[in-house]
Chains A and B, each alone.
Chain A
Amino acid sequence: MTMRVRFWGTRGSLSAPLNAVQVRDKVRRALAAAAQHGAPDVAGIDKFIDDHLGFEVAGTFGGNTSCVEIDGVGEDHVICDLGTGVREFGNDFLRQQRADKSKTFHVFMSHLHWDHIMGFPFFVPAYIPGHRIEIYSCHDDVEAALRRQHGAPSFPVDFSQLGATINFHKLAPDQDHEIAGMTVRALKQHHEGDSYGWRFTHAGKVAVYSTDSEHKGQTEPSEAAFAEFFRGADLVVFDAMYSLAETVSLKEDWGHSSNVLGVELASRAGARRLALFHHEPNNDDAALVGILNETRRFEELSRADGPPLEVISAYDGLEIEL
């Protein structure tokens, strides 16, 4: 089986759904393109979309907060974080009822800030007896954080009423753990209250999930540990919430990083592909497409003798085969 990564939630800090004005603007721009290039017949609509509409018009990055699935490894399900994207992951699981998959979920937590746990009360499989949820973290207080949001006065159903079997596991960082058929390793990151990146290795493929992580520059000694953590990864999911300028001025020490640091760090580590992640909720689709294009240009400008780094921008619904 081949490792696949599915993004169910890619937005940072707060969910950010499209509104009617934004949807209307996309429709207006699509119709303007049709007026310019000639409207297609019904059979030619998809080709017209592919040929004439950018992702900022034909698609959207989505508005769910962090939730990323690692699939293709074994019969159990593996996800990172419980942002609002986990609601759609759970619904998809219930719709599909895949025969090759179990009813066990392994959840790896980056940290416990609200946007990374807020989807759990809407993760329907947690309400169904017979499901098993194994939650892994390097923090001490995961269970307390989930129980606190899952009950009065914040939510009508208490955590104790969940039907699934839920277990919590504290893992030590900087060492390998064999879980769900993968080698899993955590690394402490610079973020208020600490966060942890996760490196997943299976059958020679490596996926790194590193969000809510501020990098103070490649000259910092701690960056060598990140270069090693990202080393040779087939995919690095990277917190690129802010511009470099913001991270050295107004938003310094806010715990997030930039597209520029992502390119430099992933290139230094010899990673194959970088996925911009944890998108600033104030950035609309056009802004995020612009940032992606700029990031690809920066990769060209900064590339040394090594192979090129593929740069993508994660969006809700994206699936990548490693």
Chain B
Amino acid sequence: MALTFSIDGYADVRVLRPAGRVTNDEAPAFQAKVVEAVEQSGDALVVIDFAGLDYVSSGGLRGVAKGARLCRERNGQLMVAALTSVVQEIFAISRFHQVVTVHPTVTDAVAALSADALAALEAASK
């Protein structure tokens, strides 16, 4: 399945929703989208929703790390949420919990970043 993306805005937070598998071949496209989400968020507050990802390679994880670094440099933060079981295993094996904060759900991640964004997310969900 080809890798697809969407970026949704909730107040000052951008939520990147990739779907498919981030192999090393797909990693450059994935990293470009992570950077795009950071650029779109004025306060550099980004959540990556992993619910649609069956697999992530080292190249994909490097994209996550790059996004996290970009956000930190702008006094923002990148978080990830809703890891599928395989991706959870890969995060554990690669110790990537040490690189980014992982939340069980996108709502949890957005709530941790911005009250305004949480309100916007809840309004959009109604």
Contacts and interface: CB of A to CB of B under 8 A. Distances in A.
A302 B61 contact: no
A217 B59 CA distance: 6
* Contact size range, B: 20 to 34
Interface residues of A, number: 20
A295 B89 CA distance: 11
B94 A245 contact: yes
B93 A298 contact: yes
Contacts of B89: 297-298, 301
B4 interface: no
Interface string A184-222: 000000000000000000000000000000000111000
Central interface residue in A248, A295, A302, by most chain B CB within 10 Å:
A248
B6 interface: no
Given A217-B24, A249-B99, A301-B86, A260 B59 contact: no
Interface in A26-77: none
Nearest to B97: A245
A246 interface: yes
A244 interface: yes
Nearest to B87: A301
Interface string A232-259: 0000000000011110110000000011
B39 to A, nearest CB: 20
Contacts of B28: 219
Interface string A257-269: 0111100100000
B94 A302 contact: no
Contacts of B24: 217-219, 264
A228 interface: no
A321 interface: no
B95 interface: yes
Given A218-B24, A297-B93, A298-B90, 8 more contacts: A217-B24, A218-B27, A245-B65, A245-B98, A248-B99, A249-B65, A258-B94, A264-B24
Smallest CB-CB A-B distances: 6 pairs = A244-B94, A243-B95, A245-B95, A218-B24, A248-B65, A294-B93
14 contacts: A217-B62, A218-B57, A218-B58, A219-B24, A219-B28, A243-B94, A246-B98, A248-B61, A259-B93, A261-B58, A264-B57, A297-B89, A298-B90, A301-B89
